[in-house]
Amino acid sequence: MIGDETCEQMCLVAILQPAPGRWNPGVASENLALTKAFGFGPENRFQATLRAEFYDAFNRHYINGPDTNPNDQNFGQITSVSGKTRTGQLGARVQW
């Protein structure tokens, strides 16, 4: 039988030294690009390409790990998130 003190120590170790990936499952980021090429002018002499790119298109945020300092008032709580912001860019190209 495990004594109460030993159980407390084991629980504290599990929080202070979690297994890899236990609290932070990883990151996923989806990037999208849309391209449209078309010709115009007499006999499609001119070629144009329009391009739109979006980075982190779904604007995902990830929780950070919990506070592991047992002397802190936020011990065991998750108090912040991380993640990139969604960005995008547009481009155009004309060839003749």
**Domain count of the chain?**
1
Does residue 2 belong to any structural domain of this protein? no
Residue with tokens 């990037």: 31
34 residue type, one letter: L
Please state, in angstroms and rounded to a whole number, the distance separating the CA atoms of residues 1 and 76.
27
Indicate whether 1 belongs to any domain: no
Instruction: Identify the three-state secondary structure at position 5.
Output: helix
Terminal CA-to-CA distance of the chain, rounded, Å? 84
Distance between CA atoms of residues 25 and 47, nearest Å: 46
Q: Which pLDDT belongs to residue 1? A: 47
**Share of residues in the chain with pLDDT > 90 (%):** 30
**Angstrom distance (rounded) from CA 27 to CA 31:** 13
Nearest C-alpha neighbor of 27 from the set 78, 76, 72, 83: 83
Q: Is residue 37 part of a domain?
A: yes
Tell me if 45 is assigned to some domain: yes
Instruction: Give the model confidence (pLDDT) of 32-74 as tens digits.
Output: 999 999 999 998 899 999 999 999 888 887 777 788 888 888 8
Range of the domain at 30: 24-95
Higher pLDDT, 22 or 50: 50
In a domain, residue 6? The reply is: no
Residue tagged 């629980």 (tokens)? 11
pLDDT higher at 27 or 68: 68
Confidence of residue 17 (pLDDT cuts 50, 70, 90): low
- For residues 34 and 82, the answer to whether their CB atoms sit within 8 Å is no
**pLDDT mean across residues, the chain:** 80
Q: Is residue 58 part of a domain?
A: yes
pTM: 0.54
Q: Can you give the pLDDT at residue 25?
A: 59
